[in-house]
Amino acid sequence: MDMESKREEFRKYLEKGGALQALNCALARLYEMQEKPPDPLSFIAELLQQYADTSKLEEAKEVTPSKPNGTPIGNGALIEDGYEASFLSDKDDMMEDDGTMSRL
């Protein structure tokens, strides 16, 4: 398997798992902030953790419907605070017609 094929396979793996979307969203949020956080790595890590937690919540909701503990938002996910709502709405806003995300 040549290097280009390996790269393409890895890219598809990251895309399928939602990693590229989450990273793009986190970087776009950081870029657009008026007041940048003192530790960008911690900021990105926190956003990625929230994204992972939200994805797990959405998966659990699909498997076993239960009484919502959070606030419903447009795409049916539940949120516990406004920060996640902002993160999720940014994620949805950045989706392009071909299903990829890019704001940078």
The secondary structure of 13-66 as a DSSP string is HHHHTTHHHHHHHHHHHHHH-SS--S-HHHHHHHHHHHHHHHHHHHHHHHHS--
Model confidence at 14, pLDDT cuts 50, 70, 90, reads very high
Is the pLDDT at 90 greater than 80, yes or no? Answer: no
Cα dihedral 79, 25, 89, 37, rounded to 10, equals 70
Give the pLDDT confidence of 48-59 residue by residue, as tens digits. Answer: 999 888 877 777
Model confidence at 28, pLDDT cuts 50, 70, 90, reads very high
Roughly how many angstroms between the first and final C-alpha of the chain, as a whole number? Answer: 31
Centre a 10 Å sphere on the Cβ of residue 101 and count the other Cβ atoms it contains. 21
